[in-house]
Structures are given as C-alpha cells and as structure tokens.
Amino acid sequence: MLKAVKRLAVLGVLVLFGLIAWNLFGFGHSIANGSQILAEVSEIRAAVPPNASHVEAQSSGAVWISGCSEVPGSRDGWTTDQVSVSFTDFDSRTTIIQSIDRALKRGGWRRHDASPGAGSGLIPHWTLDVKSGHLVQAWAFPVGPSTRHWYVSSSWSPPGPRGQGCP
C-alpha cells in the first residue's frame, strides 16, 4: 500500500512539472490559441512602408477541412494562416525593404533572405517563432516589371496533418 502511494505521489509531481513546462514554453498548438497566432501572422500589415499607397490586405485563418472524395488520396487536416498585403510605393527597392525590415524586427521577426526555389535569387525573408513547433514565414518582393508594385505575405501552418480539400 505504501509503495502505491509513493508511486502516485511521484506520478503527481511529474504531471505537475509537465503542466508547468507546457505552460511556460508553449509546446504544441491548439485551436484555442489559433487566433493569437493569426494576429502575429497579421503583423505584416504594420510593415507597409509609410509612403505606400493603394494598400490592399487579405487574410484567412487556419481551419480544419475534410478531404475531398473526388480527389484520390485527399485527406482531412489544417489549412494555413495566410495574410498578404499589396501596395504601390515609388521609393527605391532598398528603402522599401529597409522599412519593412525595421517594422518586422520591432515585432521580433528575424531576417534571413532565402531563395523560393531552384534558379531563383535571394528575396527578403523573415521568420517569427510563435512557439508552436512551426515558424511564421514572411516574404516581400516587387510584382511585375517595375519595383512600384509590391507584395508582402506571411503564413503559418498548424502542427498536424495538412488538409487537402476540393479544388
């Protein structure tokens, strides 16, 4: 009987430490903090340079979707938090990127430019650790033949399966 009580006490202490660590370090994602993460993904809206005009923003929060019966291999899972902002700015490319960089760094984002694919050059890229096991990604680049029209996007994928719904 005494051994059983000791085992329960040890188990209780371990569970208590586990809960404390979970709360302190924010392991995992739950849909309960999904809106908080979408708010952090949405910080790119504040990164639009002050001289920008024709600013348009779109966003969508991650949701659980069912697989598509018409698509073989489709499965249930999460969509992605996505926020995109397009704008027009006549400042130089360097000035625009520096302005975006300063705004995102104030929010805790880290810059490390990257190539989006083989044969592509480096483009401005930032990440934000939201303590979910997955980083928020953000990219900024001009659209079209001139550097007047810009597109900044950020996204985050919840841990777990990625949903493949109907097209």
Q: What is the pLDDT of residue 3?
A: 61
User: Would you list the domain boundaries of the chain?
Assistant: 29-156
Query: What's the mean pLDDT in 118-138?
Result: 87
On average, the pLDDT of the chain sits at: 80
- pLDDT tens by residue, 153-164: 999 888 888 888
Tokens of 131: 């303590």
Determine the average pLDDT of the residues in 34-47: 81
Amino acid at the residue 150:
W
Mean pLDDT of 92-111: 95
- Find the mean pLDDT for residues 80-101: 94
pLDDT at position 33 is 55
Position 101 pLDDT exceeds 50 = yes
Query: Are 85 and 44 in contact, with CB atoms under 8 Å apart?
Result: yes
